[in-house]
Structure 1
């Protein structure tokens, strides 16, 4: 009988782990592909109808989500109800959790598949400042299976953690802390505890870059977990996790900003304002925090101060953009206009269209659509929740059916007046 060598056993174990990881990754991605496949099926049916005027909508979840209440679907309905003598087909190729690089990657295929008369884009919100040449570790971290294991590991490590007597556990519920006069003192105490931990790490000869990586990964995990709990409605758990992140780094502007969103969700505007000011203190160029602060002032009927914060937000965004976004927008424009296809570049609700215009080397051949004042007036009149279901963008979010209708009607009028 053949005896398996140690080397063969190791290879078999490694292959088994790789196979399990691959199957898990496939399973996690399958769920996301189901919705996309259903949408593509509807698009193919629409493209086969041989209708007169075909419009292709490109973007991320702000375009893709909403089904019959999405802005592309409502745009098709709006245009056809006008009885203009032309039949319209609007094709929704929005990519949930997508970015401009993903949109560009499928652009030629979509143009060839649907042969549109008009392309509409609203994109860029999910772009980051990362360099395209990721290393192997960055690639591995992009897998959903890795993210799942990271979250599980964080849960287990926190449950099993047993700090020594010299290092008491840092755990405070932010809903309690925020109502106390000694809130800052609590954070200072937490900072002192971390200082002791750092000294122990130095005694163990940990390298500075290793500590920074460790802290970054842990903070990223905190933010990911808090986002999950906030999205599922468990605001107290989200606040607790963000409290832990702040306790470990009192200068964590992003954690303060995320915490303010929890207070916003509970309509605790005074706490949201106080927390956002701390976020801005530690991240002075965070446009999203200024944008949310403007919304808080709108909710408190403080229109003058809201305008000031909106202007600050726009000023920051006019100077700060990701090179990837600019590059991909110009690639898209060149590809579309070279095929003599008309192009509409639409700005997100509540945001300044001039910041979108600045991304282009040459604006000729594109029509720019502004949704800023339209939505600001509507929100001031009816309230934020009438038009948005969340605040993922800082100063705007995914639209309600009513919000998408506002976008669709604005687009429809521009198409009728400028392109037909």
Structure 2
């Protein structure tokens, strides 16, 4: 006699199966993360036990952790330099330059390295990764978001449906450098003449609201948010009716992902001075766009565009058109995004390399690789003046300052396929004692010959991703080659077996 299963029993069994599956996935992800860190720590301890005379500490994100450092050690120890090198891998998946910097002192105390090799910045604000979520005060929501299963599901959804990041370019396609923010000169606080001047002004006149405002702006540009907030709020106390101060606080909170506070202050600025509303509308558009609140973003971007209507020559309208392009691109409306981005390029400023690169990226998403390369990339490349996120640049400066105090050599590595110029631009005239590793030419030639898929597993950015074994070997050996040449004046010796010694 067969037992009949009721609907509720079936539903219970299905839900139980789903729960057990999620539990096993969560346990597997947590165990995997713990195991990866344990293996990395074990390798680092073994490396120190070897007693190598020269210690090299590697810093970075998931493109470093367990990736190219072993190949670097194998390659550099083949050099015959008469030195035993020990390479320590302190890359960490999902981290950013701020977190890396916060751990540097402990790494230096632990390993006492002679050299630090840094390849970092791809996870910083503004990079093409998983968009930030709106901070939540809801305890149940925070509880759900704490699960690694949730984070994995969100990442997979974003990669599959929002970015098309799993699609590898055709074998003979040349990936190009992505758009980057304009370069900012970052000067350490102790040497910043602007900060010194403003502090002197405040000593003479403690009620100088403008000086507090400007000091807040300088600290913000350096990524020192706590000091920036403190001085900007002081300016607001002195002059509570200044809409620009409210707007600056809004920018500051938006940069930190504090979207609710940013919204309050930007709207307050708009209320205080409705006539001067271009920047406020523009910033509210970005604020909602970052939270993927597309309807609200569109409302404020349209309001910003109405202000600029008929005055396209005014600086700033170009940014509104680019903002529209970004809005529609994020919603997958590539044709509409293309129209607005090209309008920014054609009608506002034909020399804007960012707009040209954005257009090139839109063509790529539509699969028109030939048109992207021929029509826009070649022209944009001639105008390409790029830099790093100001926060990333500031963290690179801070890292160098820490290492200089301990007389530790810094090696800055550019990501595969990217030009090393923007990385050098961070340091400008202070770059004489820094070793820079350019991975653009060597990877482009390799990808052109064997195809993107031979060297990369996926796409983090428009033109590179996590390396396969072959890519990590190429990366590690190139870093070894540059270090040997620039620091030890030795020639790199390639492994004849081609196995990389790992």
User: 1:323 offset after TM fit, Å?
Assistant: 2.0
User: 1:364 offset after TM fit, Å?
Assistant: 3.3
User: 1:374 offset after TM fit, Å?
Assistant: 1.8
Alignment equivalent of 2:419, drawn from 352, 359, 365: 352
Alignment equivalent of 1:253, drawn from 317, 326, 337: 326
SS at match of 2:465: coil
| Residues 1:410 and 1:151: Cα distance change in structure 2 (over 3 Å) | closer
SS at match of 1:359: helix
Alignment equivalent of 2:378, drawn from 304, 308, 311: 308
Alignment equivalent of 2:89, drawn from 89, 92, 105: 92
User: 1:282 offset after TM fit, Å?
Assistant: 8.7
| Residues 1:150 and 1:47: Cα distance change in structure 2 (over 3 Å) | closer
- Distance, in Å, in 1 between the alignment partners of 2:88 and 2:431 is 25
CA contact (8 A) 1:279 1:289 kept: no
Instruction: Show the 5 A alignment for 1:163-202.
Output: none
CA contact (8 A) 2:435 2:483 kept: no
Alignment equivalent of 2:477, drawn from 400, 406, 409: 409
- Distance, in Å, in 2 between the alignment partners of 1:54 and 1:392 is 30
Higher relative contact order by CA 8 Å / sep ≥ 6: 1 or 2? 2
- Asked if 1:370 corresponds to 2:438, the answer is yes
- Asked if 1:71 corresponds to 2:68, the answer is yes
How high is the TM-score relative to the length of structure 1?
Answer: 0.57
- Distance, in Å, in 1 between the alignment partners of 2:148 and 2:109 is 40
CA contact (8 A) 1:28 1:145 kept: no
User: 1:37 offset after TM fit, Å?
Assistant: 2.9
- Asked if 1:61 corresponds to 2:62, the answer is yes
Instruction: Show the 5 A alignment for 1:13-412.
Output: 32-64=33-65, 67=66, 70-128=67-125, 138=135, 145-146=144-145, 217=291, 219=293, 251=324, 253=326, 256=329, 277=338, 280-281=341-342, 285=354, 289=358, 292=361, 300=370, 308=378, 311=381, 314-315=384-385, 317-318=386-387, 321-360=388-427, 362-412=430-480
- Structure 2 gap ranges (5+): 1-25, 128-133, 155-160, 165-263, 268-283, 295-322, 346-353, 489-502
Deviates more, 1:278-287 or 1:119-128: 278-287
- Distance, in Å, in 2 between the alignment partners of 1:36 and 1:312 is 44
| Residues 1:346 and 1:340: Cα distance change in structure 2 (over 3 Å) | same
| Residues 1:216 and 1:120: Cα distance change in structure 2 (over 3 Å) | closer
SS at match of 1:55: strand
- Distance, in Å, in 1 between the alignment partners of 2:143 and 2:325 is 26
| Residues 1:281 and 1:304: Cα distance change in structure 2 (over 3 Å) | closer
SS at match of 1:358: helix
User: 1:82 offset after TM fit, Å?
Assistant: 3.2
- Structure 1 gap ranges (5+): 1-24, 131-136, 156-171, 176-206, 221-249, 261-271
- Distance, in Å, in 1 between the alignment partners of 2:477 and 2:376 is 26
User: 1:345 offset after TM fit, Å?
Assistant: 0.6
User: 1:313 offset after TM fit, Å?
Assistant: 8.7
Root-mean-square deviation (Å): 4.6
User: 1:119 offset after TM fit, Å?
Assistant: 0.7
CA contact (8 A) 1:253 1:283 kept: no
